[in-house]
Amino acid sequence: MQEISRSREKADLSALPEGWVWMRLGEIGEVNLGKTPHKTQYESKGKYKIVKFRDLTDNGINYYESDRGFVAEDGEVINQLSELQEGDVLVTASAHSSEHIGKKVAYVSNIPKKYGKIFFVGELLCIRVQRNNTQPRTVYYYLISQDGYQSIQNHVRGVHLIASEARQISAPLPPLPEQQRIVAKIEELLTRLDAGVAALRRIKAQLKRYRQAVLRDAFEGKLTREWREAHKGELEPASVLLERIKEERRKNAKDKYLPPLDTSDLPELPEGWVWTNLEELTESERNAIKAGPFGSSLKKEFYVSNGYKIYGQEQVIREDPFYGDYYIDDKRYAKLKSCTVKPGDMLISLVGTIGKVLVLPEAIEPGIINPRLVKFSLERRLVNNSYIKAYIESSTVRHFFSLSSHGGTMDILNLTILKRLPIPLPPLPEQHHAVEEIEQRFSVADAIEKTVDQSLKQAGRLRQSILKRAFEGKLVPQDPADEPADKLLERIKQERSKQQANVQSPNKGRKIVKQGKLLL
């Protein structure tokens, strides 16, 4: 891989603008990995801040949000850590996948004065150039370019970028005055571009709020108010239909007694609506409400290449019932038949990404749910499944879930929480109309969001185009009077050699008397 990298660099060398030169990061500054404190040395607050991988953002470094992002005020510990300075460039140097290395690059600036010192951990690599001879932002902008990322990748070994390899990363070095012009022009253009990107992201945030406002109006009856007035007297109240079906079930001895829902703290509903819950809206058949089997009943070792499909969170989160290829055989299916699903069933995720809903369409594969899901077979004479799905995924219900769920590292729902979820139920025809109104408004929002997403992608491409032109020498004019970069690089090397020599021999040339002996 290293030979490929060097051959590529030689090929690119001829394409460099006049007066430029290829250099390696180790030639123009210090390149070192950070050091990670022991987990017992982290604290939740303090004055010695630790910057971690997740603190690197597109806009620099987030100095405030780290959990346990401080180190104990222990001189021995602190002296072993790597301190950040203004003008440093941080690069991710360790990741689960090699392609993630170098994806996050941050320029260190505006370090908060409230912290005594700021250190960085071993999964980050710091590049500290000679600022009198090199613009640090030149290195930063090159490394966030596509060519810079590829240059980093050429030196990744496995899932790590070690310091010795990082020092060999190649980059073009323009004359110092041209570096300054390039950085100024890049920042001028990117400032404008970032303003446009920020405006697009505001639109996305507004669309998110708009969708939630549509859902709120739908479940308060505001979205269908005119339709309801136009059909006044024609609709059977939802409470009447609900009670009739419950009475029908009791006569057939298929419905257990359910205590009445406490509505004392719930808002008043429009005429014809009623407060109910999921348990009251399910079919009377056995296992109409069913959580997935215990994990020990459905281990991965039971999976086969074909048979009865296993429906899990991957289908629900993707909203794609046909995704995935996990199956069980006839024998295992017979033991777990109570978890069977059918078209029209509503699947709800219970763990992690809680409250996501998938309504199974016709023509699904026969199968069962896994332990992370619960299914509800709803009474179709009472409810439109799409209405209930939209309600469960609204911000109102998400807030209800956040207050009711529990879990150490992730949220967890259970059947009790879902069963007691209060649901504002209109007459069935009004549910149908509400769904139509929601879908109509959402389709407009989706079209706008698609355009915004396309514009954001174009902005990303434009950003890379600006950087590419910059390091091809096409972004700013060149000045023949500028000192050529090869002389600049030679001067940097000489100055670094002197500095290293002084560090290695701090007492050279001094006479020191110790224990009666003259030391040179």
CATH number at residue 366: 3.90.220.20
pLDDT digits (tens, 9 = 90+) for 332-356: 999 999 999 999 999 999 887 788 9
Tell which of 128, 159, 175 closes a domain: 175
Q: Are residues 161 and 302 in the same domain?
A: no
**What pLDDT was estimated at residue 252?**
67
Q: Are residues 261 and 120 in the same domain?
A: no
The answer to whether residue 263 is domain-embedded is yes
Q: Are residues 140 and 36 in the same domain?
A: yes
Q: Are residues 167 and 266 in the same domain?
A: no
The answer to whether residue 405 is domain-embedded is yes
Across the chain, mean pLDDT equals 88
Tell which of 373, 392, 426 closes a domain: 426
The answer to whether residue 239 is domain-embedded is no
The answer to whether residue 481 is domain-embedded is no
In terms of Cβ atoms closer than 10 Å to its own Cβ (0-12, 13-18, 19+), residue 262 is exposed
Is residue 218 within 8 A of residue 176, CB to CB? The reply is: no
**% of the chain residues with pLDDT over 90:** 65
Counted residue by residue, the chain has a size of: 520
**What pLDDT was estimated at residue 188?**
97
* pTM greater than 0.85 (yes/no): no
Q: Are residues 267 and 400 in the same domain?
A: yes
- Closest to 424 measured CA to CA, from 460, 391, 462, 394: 391
Tokens of residue 112, six digits: 């908060």
The answer to whether residue 46 is domain-embedded is yes
pLDDT digits (tens, 9 = 90+) for 134-146: 999 999 999 999 9
Tell which of 139, 155, 175 closes a domain: 175
Give the mean pLDDT of 458-464.
97
Q: Are residues 272 and 418 in the same domain?
A: yes
The answer to whether residue 123 is domain-embedded is yes
Tokens of residue 446, six digits: 């989706």
Total domains, the chain: 2
pLDDT tier for residue 11 given thresholds of 50, 70 and 90: very low
Q: Are residues 311 and 407 in the same domain?
A: yes
Tokens of residue 295, six digits: 């994990």
pLDDT digits (tens, 9 = 90+) for 490-507: 999 999 888 878 766 555
Burial 215-226 (b: 16+ CB within 10 A, else e): bebbbbbebbee
Give the domain extent around 37: 2-175
Q: Are residues 377 and 279 in the same domain?
A: yes
**What pLDDT was estimated at residue 95?**
84
**What pLDDT was estimated at residue 114?**
87
pLDDT digits (tens, 9 = 90+) for 383-410: 999 999 999 999 989 888 877 766 544 4
Query: What phi and psi, each to the nearest 5 degrees, are found at residue 510?
Result: -110, 145
Q: Are residues 134 and 11 in the same domain?
A: yes
pLDDT tier for residue 38 given thresholds of 50, 70 and 90: confident
Q: Are residues 265 and 163 in the same domain?
A: no
Q: Are residues 113 and 8 in the same domain?
A: yes
Q: Are residues 264 and 408 in the same domain?
A: yes
pLDDT digits (tens, 9 = 90+) for 254-297: 555 567 778 888 999 999 999 999 989 999 888 999 999 987 78
Residue 436 Cα distances to 223, 270, 395, 430, angstroms: 10, 19, 20, 10
pLDDT tier for residue 453 given thresholds of 50, 70 and 90: very high
pLDDT tier for residue 78 given thresholds of 50, 70 and 90: confident
pLDDT tier for residue 200 given thresholds of 50, 70 and 90: very high
DSSP 238: H
Residue 174 has pLDDT above 50, yes or no: yes
Query: What phi and psi, each to the nearest 5 degrees, are found at residue 519?
Result: -110, 135
Residue 513 has pLDDT above 50, yes or no: no
The answer to whether residue 108 is domain-embedded is yes
The answer to whether residue 118 is domain-embedded is yes
